[in-house]
Amino acid sequence: MSSTAGQVIKCRAAVAWEAGKPLVMEEVEVAPPKAMEVRLKILYSSLCHTDVYFWEAKGQTPVFPRIFGHEAGGVVESVGEGVTDLSPGDHVLPIFMGECKECAHCKSTESNMCDLLRINTDRGVMISDGQSRFSLNGKPIYHFLGTSTFSEFTVVHVGCVAKINPLAPLDKVCVISCGISTGYGAAVNVAKPPKGSTVAVFGLGAVGLAAAEGARASGASRIIGVDLNPKRFEEAKKFGVTEFVNPTDYDIPVQEVLAEMTNGGVDRSIECSGSTSAMISAFECVHDGWGVAVLVGVPHKDAVFKTHPVNFLVERTLKGTFYGNYKPRSDIPAVVEKYMAKELELEKFITHSVPFSEINKAFDYMLKGESLRCIIHMDG
């Protein structure tokens, strides 16, 4: 691959030209990486619900034409000036949250919210020069989450690239680069349920199931799944969910249902749906005195969270997290090793597989609620 270093690469990319319309396979030009950037050859990508959410552009700022994708695995093709810890051929996961290793957040043991590289859903260009590295017929195609993995080659800031064990199968560990780490980390790093505790998980998509898996790994004895889709309940048992609640089955708020089931409230709750009503329920269902609620889902940009201040005064705690509080460069290689050591199962999250040329099928599966994760083989 070194023969392409410093040159513009022409490759296939699935371009979203407008909101909600099928992606179009185009031959785009991918510029070489500039200072502190790397160009990656993407081998496998996966469809995350966040891609669908911003592709639909319902309640978010529309930025088009754009190359979506942020959950992937690949190899380094070339590196820009100043990049010292990555080399061509390294196996990597591009990650939407960055780690510059220099700011106060990166130096903190409590935060992963890098000042330089924190998530920015509206930005469609590279931070170094405000330009896109993708073009078609001389016109820019915009980036998404600094990753844009629905392209055979992409350019990413070095701080958003985790170097991993080259023996790890990229078609499996690619899901660690977003959804699975987000849910699992929300449980083990943020909620931290004590052994024997009761945990409620709101939203039983891939992220919620990963949160349930994290709660089980932490030793929770009861894991209550809350979802509007009863079809998800049977599948959720594989991830440690022990009981199920569908809010539409009750005439009272679901937080009251959960309080009745658990003698006053759950010890921990993790909200993974993005619904503000679910966020409020997740907070109000935790036990007073020690209950902790963790918000994971991405809300509508105009969403408002309302609850009575007394809910805080009675010593409930509300937290939020992006990417499960993991620092991508420092922490993610160890998460990959958890999979390699068979301490973290990824296969059960992967329900479908499609060639790159049929990427729109992955969107169909997600929209129909049929898939947890669909792996996209970029060579197909």
Active site (annotated) includes residue 49: yes
Among 160, 178, 272, 285, the active-site one is 178
Taking Cα atoms as reference points, which of 308, 317, 271 lies closest to residue 290? 317
Taking Cα atoms as reference points, which of 295, 292, 294, 266 lies closest to residue 200? 266
Q: Which two tokens stand for residue 91?
A: 């196996």
The single-letter code of the amino acid at 29 is E
Among 26, 39, 50, 271, the active-site one is 50
Tell me how far apart the alpha carbons of residues 67 and 152 are, in angstroms, rounded to a whole number.
11
Active site (annotated) includes residue 100: yes
Among 70, 91, 105, 232, the active-site one is 70
Say how far residue 283 (Cα) sits from the centre of its chain. Answer: 22
Active site (annotated) includes residue 216: no
Among 66, 118, 133, 316, the active-site one is 118
DSSP string, 193-221: PPTT-EEEEE--SHHHHHHHHHHHHHT-S
Active site (annotated) includes residue 114: yes
Active site (annotated) includes residue 50: yes
Strand-pairing partners, residue 142, are 66
Tell me how far apart the alpha carbons of residues 160 and 179 are, in angstroms, rounded to a whole number.
16
Among 103, 276, 307, 317, the active-site one is 103
The DSSP bridge pattern shows strands 153-157 and 37-46 to be antiparallel
Taking Cα atoms as reference points, which of 232, 231, 209, 225 lies closest to residue 257? 225
Among 26, 39, 66, 71, the active-site one is 71
Q: Which two tokens stand for residue 104?
A: 């106060």
Active site (annotated) includes residue 118: yes
Among 114, 174, 272, 285, the active-site one is 114
DSSP string, 85-141: S--TT-EEEE-SS---SSSHHHH-SS----TTT---SS--S-TTTS--SEEETTEEE
Among 39, 49, 143, 316, the active-site one is 49
Among 106, 160, 272, 285, the active-site one is 106
Taking Cα atoms as reference points, which of 219, 221, 197, 199 lies closest to residue 209? 199
Among 26, 37, 39, 48, the active-site one is 48
Active site (annotated) includes residue 133: no
Active-site positions read 48-50, 70-71, 100, 103, 106, 114, 118, 178, 373
